[in-house]
Amino acid sequence: MNQAIKNTDFKFESLIKKYTGKVRDVYYFKDKIVMIVTDRISAFDVVLPRPIPYKGQILNQIAEKFLNMTEDIVPNWIENVPDPNVTIGKSCKTFPVEMVIRGYLTGHAWRLYRSGKREICGVIMPEGMREHDRFPEPIITPTTKAKVGHDEDISRENIISEGIVTETDYLKLEDYTLKLFNRGTKYAKSKNLILVDTKYEFGKNNDKIFLVDEIHTPDSSRYFYEDTYQDLQNQNQNQRQLSKEFVREWLIDNGFQGKEGQVMPEMNDERVNLISERYIELYENITGEKFIKRNTENMLNDIESNINIAL
């Protein structure tokens, strides 16, 4: 099996601190950060036991493509991509909310709707909708950005009234979110895809707002195939999805949703390879480009060398 990155522990000169997220290892320097996208995979806010070969490369390269494609809408944090798994960029103070935007009644929103709720994050969802139906207009459903544990839904009103984000800044985040989603939707259509929902993260550097982290990747977004969407809806069948929802579905089928007392199902080699192959399929469908696998033989050494050269 190909090598995969589970953890990194580099000792760079001038390093101030390191942060280990669910998927990314972030190294902080005086005026920039180095983000290494590992091959870890998470679902239900839990990191699964085995990394997925090439997953980090896939996420990093998709994010680079879409950040470059949207920099006319909002400036982003990227300065350099010196390695397939690495991005170097501006150090920003991240807003403590994630801007989730949904075009369709799917995933978390559907689970709430199915339970009888008709409101999410202060937004009213219309009556009479079915799973995967399109909303009349995209809805913004922010979440708090938890350092540990689960992110929580929060309304626009609470974000502003609790002083989590100023009203001036929050209105800008909403405007950027709608424009980015519109751009992503148009691009997806050109690839026979529907951008179903996604999330954006923003931060500030010298009092200026920047788009940070990844955008429009299969970890942060959900896609349907456009050519079969309406027929499947008419037949009340599940949509063909491009996202990591297939990982969540496998976990749910095996009795795991990240809740206390639940046991993570075994990830054997066959399962790990299957997930890796699905991520490659996602990359090629979303970008329209052939995925070129990096050499994984001395991957950690290569990553460390490429970062040191770039710094």
| Residue 184 neighbours by CB under 8 Å, 6+ apart | 66, 70, 195, 198, 215, 216, 221
Tens of pLDDT, residue by residue, the chain (311 residues): 579 999 999 999 999 999 999 999 999 998 899 999 999 999 988 999 999 999 999 999 999 999 999 999 999 999 999 999 999 999 999 999 999 999 999 999 999 999 999 999 999 999 999 999 999 999 999 999 765 556 799 999 999 999 999 999 999 999 999 999 999 999 999 999 999 999 999 999 999 999 999 999 988 999 999 999 999 999 999 998 887 888 988 999 999 999 989 999 999 999 999 999 999 998 999 999 999 999 999 999 999 999 999 99
119-120 and 32-37 beta bridge pairing: unpaired
Q: Which helix (H) or strand (E) holds 281?
A: helix 269-287
Look up the CATH superfamily of 94-242: ATP-grasp fold, B domain (3.30.470.20)
Say what the pLDDT of residue 248 is: 87
Check: CB of residue 227 under 8 Å from CB of residue 257: no
Task: Write out the two tokens for 156.
Answer: 């626009």
Say what the pLDDT of residue 242 is: 80
| Residue 215 neighbours by CB under 8 Å, 6+ apart | 63, 66, 67, 70, 180, 184, 198, 200, 221
DSSP tag of 259? -
pTM: 0.89
Q: Which helix (H) or strand (E) holds 183?
A: helix 167-190
32-to-195, 241, 303, 304 alpha-carbon distances in Å: 31, 36, 17, 16
Closest CA to 209 of 218, 200, 219: 200
Closest CA to 127 of 116, 138, 140: 116
Check: CB of residue 67 under 8 Å from CB of residue 289: no
